[in-house]
Every structure is written in structure tokens, then in C-alpha cells.
Amino acid sequence: MNSPTPPKRVVLGVSASIAAYKAADLASRLVKSGVEVFPILTADAARFVQPATFRALTHHPCPIDIFEEPYPGEIAHIWLARNCDLFAIVPASMNVIARLANGLAEDMLTAAAMACTAPILLAPGMNTGMWNNPATQANLTKLRDYGYYFIEPTSGRLACRTEGVGRMADVETIFNAIHEMLARQDSWRGVKVLVTAGPTREPLDPVRYLSNRSSGKMGYALAEAARLRGADVTLISGPTAIAPPGGIKFVRVETAAEMRDAVLPYAASADIVFAAAAVADYRPSEIAAQKIKKSPGGSALALSPNDDILALLGTQKRPGQVLVGFAAETENLLVSARRKRDSKRLDWIVANDVTAEGAGFDVDTNIVTVLGKDGEEISLPLRTKREVAEQILEIVRPTQAHSSMSNLGR
């Protein structure tokens, strides 16, 4: 007999905004819907609402100070950070947003949030001027880049008797968003995902190599989005400057040959492969043992072709396996992408024009068209690479995975 699934665990952080009283209603609704809620207040939030309210509603302690020890034998902020499926901050004040954006972990709420690797959802609530303040807007941009999720505030009458943006979203909207995110965490459970990412480096001599401008961001975003859906993810990456997401198997390689050797053992059992790496098509035919000296008359470089890893996977593809390739182009985008899709026997290819503003290498955004083997052609407008990754997962998902289309702002 299957054991019952344990309840989902949500840390509910409450910071100092007049909307703090609504967090009590949210806590109550979440508990009634079967979610285990662990509340944390900031000291100033406790001037608006009482910890006793949250203790009574959730049947859990409601710490404020970083040095409180409400969980015997545990360092509370680490325990909370590690033991939740989702961390929600409702409302998120200007001050808490600023502290999270700048790494100031000075109370239980910010310390736990910054130690947390589960998704973090913020529902900002504040006065219009504070919301529009450039410092807040810069902090929000930072937090979006760091991967925080947001439920945008709405326009309306504020407690300060003004009208404008800054009113925290309705409790109902926040409740639904939390459940949607929790459901999404299981939507790819049991699905084996293999992602290649980044450039490869093909050595020429002990100090030089041939490479390209791939940052790895698109592949890492796909790996992370798949992990957030509960997939079993392996990321095989060439050299990049970005940290791999937590909770996945990570394999670092340098050359195209190393990438091929790392990919093949995982590819056999993968349900879906995202080949986002910009693999070098050629390598220097000879690797000089010593640094090559300049020759006044110039020099020619002999190159040998590398194996096409994705084409190889196309020839070994097992029934039901989904292969997704990427085509970075500077001209004839769709024609080239269709040709690559068909010649490599891909189910999908994600095409992007790397010359377009906001797309391609080393930027945080992308503009892509996803082309399927059955003639589907879906254009995704300019979005962050994380958003593009989430949409790609929705389009190409293998049969074992469930849809989890989200409208959450990020």
C-alpha cells in the first residue's frame, strides 16, 4: 500500500505593512486546505498583528528574533529554510525587499529566507511612493534575477488614503498562487531530464583554447525549472561563470569530446534531453605541448570536426524519449532551425536569432521560436531566460509530466 503523501510545508513570513492582518486569513485558509504553515513575523509586523494569532491558527511557533530557539535541538532559521516546500512572504514590505536584495539577514524572517533553496514567493504591499521609489524598483529587479517569485501588487485605495499601485494582491489570489506553485512541484515528478549547457573549450596549447560566447544561462534555467517541477535532473555543463542550481546532478566538462562521453551514459535513460550547450563543431587537430610562439608570417590552424552529440542521440533515440535541440542563428532563422530539427531527428528545436536585441548570448533575456516535428511553430516574446525555460517545459513536456501553466509574475 502507498503511504499517504505528507502535507506540503509552507513558511509564511509576515513583514510590516498594514496588509499584515490579511496574512492571518491566508494562514487560516492554507491550514484548512491541508498545508502545514510555519509562521515567522518581523519585529515591526508584530506591531500590526500578534504572534499569538499565528500560533493559534497554525499550531506552530511564531518566531521573530534570529536567536529564538522554538524547535528543540535545531537552529531555527536553518531548520525552517530546509523544511519547507515553499517560502511565502505576505506582505513583503519595502524594508524586507531591500534586506533580501542586499543580503541583510538580521532577523528570523530574512535569515531563513536567505538560507532557503525552496522557491520564495513575495506579495509586496506598500504605499505607492515607496513602491515607485527607484531603490525599491532596483531591489525588485535584483530579486527577480536571483529567482524570487512575485505576486504583483494591484492599484487601489491604500491605507494612507491615496490611490495607486502598492496594494497587496487579494488573499484569494495569493492562496491560489501558493497552491499552483505547490502543485507544480510535483508535475514532473519521476521524469528524468538531461540538460547540456554552456560552451565547450577546445585547447590549442597549454594557455589557449577555441570557444564561443555561450553563458550557459538558458541551459541552467531549464535545469532549474525542471528541478522545481520535481524532475530528476542531470546538468552537463561546459565552463560557465554561473553557479549550478541546487538539488540536481551536475557534471562539469571542458571539451566537446568530454561532453559527449559524459552525456552518453545518461542519455540512454533520460525521458527528455535539452541540448542547450553551444558545442564546438571543430577542435584544433593538434594540441601543442608548449605555448605556440607567434610567427611573423601569420599562421593557419588545422581543425578536425567534433562528433555531433545531439545527432548521435537522434540515432539512438528510444520510443517516447523527447529530444530538444537549440539553434542559435544570425540569419535564415526558421529555415535553418527546421533543417537542424529534421536532420538530427529532434522532437523540438528552440530557435533564436542571436543578433536580436535582448536575445542570445550572455544576456538574461531571450526571444525564441519553438518548432515541433509535427509542424508546430510557437513564438515566445522577449522574456527572462527563466520565464522562457518555464514556457519551453510546458510546450515540450513528455507524457509522464503534467501541465502546470502558471501566470505568476517573475
CB of 202 to ligand CTP, least distance (A): 11
**Site for ligand CTP contains 327 (CB under 6 A):** yes
Residue 383 sits at φ, ψ, to 5 deg, of -150, 165
Task: List helix spans (H) across 163-236.
Answer: 171-184, 217-228
- Residues 6+ away with beta carbon under 8 Å from 238: 197, 198, 199, 200, 201, 214, 216, 252, 253, 254, 259, 277, 278, 279
C-alpha cell read off for 68: 529564538
Q: Which is nearer to ligand CTP, 196 or 215 (CB)?
A: 196
Q: Which of 124, 128, 89, 122 is nearest to 107 (CA)?
A: 89
The grid coordinates listed for 14 are 509576515
- Does 340 contact ligand CTP by CB under 6 A? yes
Nearer to ligand CTP, 86 or 333 (CB): 333
Region binding ligand CTP by CB under 6 A among candidate stretches 2-10, 119-127, 202-210, 326-334 = 326-334
Q: Considering only residues 58, 325, 387, 392, which one is a binding residue for ligand CTP as defined by CB under 6 A?
A: 325
In 3-state terms, what secondary structure has residue 191? coil
Per-residue x/- marks for ligand CTP, 274-313, CB under 6 A? -x-x-x-x------------------------x-xxx---
336 near 327, Cβ under 8 Å? Answer: yes
φ, ψ (nearest 5 deg) of residue 107: -140, 180
Minimum CB–partner distance for residue 229 and ligand CTP (Å): 21
Q: Which is nearer to ligand CTP, 189 or 339 (CB)?
A: 339
Q: Which of 328, 359, 389, 392 binds ligand CTP (CB under 6 A)?
A: 328
Q: Look at residues 327, 340, 403, 399 and name the one whose alpha carbon lies nearest to residue 373.
A: 340
* Minimum separation from the CB atom of position 352 to ligand CTP (A): 11
SS3 287: coil
Query: Nearer to ligand CTP by C-beta: 119 or 198?
Result: 198
Could you tell me the smallest distance in angstroms from the CB atom of residue 146 to ligand CTP?
27
State yes or no: is 62 an active-site residue.
Answer: no
β-bridge mates for residue 11, sequence order = 38, 87
CB 27 within 8 Å of CB 45 = no
Q: Sketch the per residue contact string, 179 through 198, with ligand CTP: x for CB under 6 A, - otherwise.
A: -----------------x--
* Window contacting ligand CTP (CB under 6 A); options: 164-172, 242-250, 273-281, 365-373: 273-281
Which positions lie near ligand CTP, rule CB under 6 A? 196, 256, 275, 277, 279, 281, 306, 308-310, 325-328, 340
Q: Which residues are catalytic?
A: 160
